[in-house]
Amino acid sequence: MHGPYHGPSSTPQYVSPTATVHGGVDDPSHPMQPMSTSEYVGENGNNDRYRYPEQSVKFSASPPTIAPSQPGGYTGSGTQEDPYVVDWDLGDPESPYNWTKKKKWIITMQLALCTFTVSFGSSSYSGGLTYIMADLNVSQDVAVLGVSLYVLGFALGPLIFAPLGETFGRRAVFLTTLSAYTVLHLGGALGKNLPTLLSCRLLSGTVGASPLTNSGGVISDIWNARERGAATAIYATVPFLGPIVGPIIGGYVAQSPSLGWRFNFWLMMMLSAVTLITGFLLTPETYTPVLLRWRAQKLMQASGGTEHYVSTYDISRPKSLGQAVRRNLSRPFIFLFTEPIVACLAIYVAIVYGTLYALFSAFPIIFQRHRGFSAGEGGLAFLGVGLGVVMGTTSTNIQNRFYWRAMDKSDNGRAPPEARLHMSIIGGLLCPIGLFWFAWTSQPHIHYLVSIFAGVPFGIGVAQILQGLTAYVMDAYGLYFASAIAATVVLRSIGGAIFPLFSTSMFNALGDQWAMSVFGFMSAICMPMPIIFFKYGWWIRSKSKLAYHNPEPRSNFPSRPETVTSHTEKKDATVIEAVV
């Protein structure tokens, strides 16, 4: 096949036939054209290579209707052996990057609602923990399995649904799993025994993980690197805000004589149904490989089958569906075990996430058992952490200024991924401060507000760490962000599932102060990690087969991508396709 790629297994890229091949196509002076010759230019795997004016586009949940293109406008000859290669046209209104900001923000807020719904479901159960223990006659260690199994599902789901989203499209997987998630709440609302309750919790967490992982992919699909800071902050923070709100509402619902703890499941089901309806109406397909595949199919139909078209992303796609699914299912494991960036950050996030979920076991001990709070009042103790998360989210504007400054200093208008990590460094310091503060002010003779306000620096740190690290992974891995973040979600969720299981025994054995200090020490050990990646991330990425490369450091961080040559990019692309 003729076209802008090298070798049968390399990833095709497109540049202007008259363009000079250099740093990257994000250069504002780069005259992008939809077609190309055999020239080759690399990019970081997402749509950042397109920077077109925004145009008004209507929502569409189905494949677009495409007028036949001039055959001369595509690379190839239109035969089955050498089909026309379909890519976005210059200023193409159907490219997600060219949608209006209004449409992008509607999609982003819908995704935020979805991630809030799923994360809220993880902890609202814990608000009724004491009532579940009494009704089902089980210990706290057994009752807390409802939280742990739900979060364990977050570890299982991404391994399946993130790759499936990259194979079949994000929208189809998103709506299918959200429908199942809505129905599964019936098991908790109507189940008469603990096995039914726990099995439905595990399944709910598994299918609920799909929106959590694919939502990040959608944000990467529709927002370019300069604009996505605020959207990424919302996506990264909401999964932590939901668990904080859950115990507050769940506690008061459970202690209500007219409602009871089972009504929490009806409440989660109603919230899920609203999310499903709005998702069906407001969330279109955004994944570029799927959209271009639809376009190629429409063009072939419009030609009556006399001309053959193929998406640029399908040139080296596996021939069979089974091969495609197997390749995509392996991606999260490849990222987790071959990418130091993903592995290290996943461990850090797992500790932060596990600590947050350990509080669902610790707070009932500290505030209800030792201070005499009711279930609802015990939930209110999470307000300090919630306030901190909100405050940490507002620091996005500060982080964005650092990132924009890095873009302005760059020769091609593109900042390195490390420019996303400034606030994560601060967050890494605040997390252990908040945990140690809480640990040594949790004695009953110290006013409870002192302990509650210790959650503020912890919440700020949680938000800043998650925002920065998520944006860092998004910039570093681009098109395969969903699989990269799925790898981090796996470890994150394992931490969230395991920590509550041993936290009750640890608090009983060590006491409130030293048990909470253990979490503080773990957080302190991880504190240097964002600093290391900020300083040496450019070098680590230069050794990676999958990450975006820019090996030249400049001032405090690298800001100039490497000059691309046909030989090196051909080699890198071939390796990437072979690996993923």
pLDDT digit string, tens, across residues 45-96: 333 433 333 333 344 444 444 444 444 467 777 777 788 888 888 788 888 9
| Spacing of C-alpha 346 from chain mean position | 12
Give pLDDT, residue 479. Answer: 67
Consecutive H or E run containing 536: helix 529-542
pLDDT tens digits along 270-326: 999 999 999 999 989 998 888 998 888 898 888 888 888 888 887 766 556 667 667
- Lowest mean per-residue pLDDT among 355-359, 416-420, 477-481, 561-565: 561-565
Instruction: Name the band, by pLDDT with cuts 50, 70 and 90, for residue 447.
Output: very high
Percent of the chain with pLDDT over 90: 26
Please tell me which residue, 478 or 565, carries the higher pLDDT value: 478
Residue 435 pLDDT > 70, yes or no?
Answer: yes
Please tell me which residue, 401 or 521, carries the higher pLDDT value: 521
Contact call for residues 474 and 481 (beta carbons, < 8 A): yes
Please tell me which residue, 68 or 258, carries the higher pLDDT value: 258
Give pLDDT, residue 573. Answer: 32
Instruction: Give the CA distances from residue 543 to residues 40, 484, 509, 540, 580, in Å, rounded to whole numbers and listed in that order.
Output: 21, 17, 45, 5, 16
Return d(Cα 239, Cα 229) in angstroms, integer.
17
CB atoms within 10 A of CB 538: 23
Contact call for residues 159 and 332 (beta carbons, < 8 A): yes
Residue 37 pLDDT > 60, yes or no?
Answer: no
pLDDT tens digits along 344-380: 999 999 999 899 888 888 888 899 888 888 878 888 8
Contact call for residues 78 and 307 (beta carbons, < 8 A): yes
Listed in sequence order, the residues at least 6 apart from 353 whose beta carbon sits closer than 8 Å to its beta carbon are 492, 493, 495, 496
**Encoded amino acid at 574, one letter:** T
Q: What are phi and psi of 86, to 5 degrees?
A: -95, 130
Percent of the chain with pLDDT over 70: 79
- Lowest mean per-residue pLDDT among 100-109, 396-405, 477-486, 533-542: 477-486
pLDDT tens digits along 155-177: 888 777 877 777 788 899 989 99
The dihedral built from the CA positions of residue 459, 463, 469 and 470, taken in this order, carries a sign that is positive
Rounded to 10°, the helix 170-190/101-123 angle is: 30
Mean pLDDT, range 425-431, rounded to an integer: 94
Return the closest-CA partner of residue 502 out of 353, 350, 357: 357
Mean pLDDT over each residue of the chain, to the nearest integer? 77
- Lowest mean per-residue pLDDT among 10-19, 153-162, 544-553: 10-19
Give pLDDT, residue 436. Answer: 96
Q: Is 10 exposed, middle or buried (0-12, 13-18, 19+ CB in 10 A)?
A: buried
Give pLDDT, residue 78. Answer: 77
Q: Which domains does the chain have, with CATH numbers?
A: 97-285+324-567 (1.20.1250.20)
Consecutive H or E run containing 482: helix 481-510
Mean pLDDT, range 317-337, rounded to an integer: 71
The encoded tokens of residue 456 equal 């503020």
Give pLDDT, residue 60. Answer: 42
pLDDT tens digits along 179-221: 999 999 999 898 888 899 999 999 999 999 888 777 877 888 8
Give the β-pairing of 309-311 and 552-554. Answer: unpaired
Instruction: Name the band, by pLDDT with cuts 50, 70 and 90, for residue 550.
Output: low
Residue 539 pLDDT > 50, yes or no?
Answer: yes
Give pLDDT, residue 439. Answer: 93
Give pLDDT, residue 100. Answer: 92
Mean pLDDT, range 445-463, rounded to an integer: 92
Give the 3-state secondary structure of 5-65: CCCCCCCCCCCCCCCCCCCCCCCCCCCCCCCCCCCCCCCCCCHHHCCCCCCCCCCCCCCCC
CB atoms within 10 A of CB 543: 11
- Lowest mean per-residue pLDDT among 238-252, 359-373, 544-558: 544-558
* pTM of the predicted model as reported, rounded to 2 decimal places: 0.71
Phi and psi based region of residue 82 (left: phi greater than 0; alpha: psi -120 to 50; beta: remaining): beta
Instruction: Name the band, by pLDDT with cuts 50, 70 and 90, for residue 15.
Output: very low
Contact call for residues 167 and 293 (beta carbons, < 8 A): no
Give pLDDT, residue 519. Answer: 94
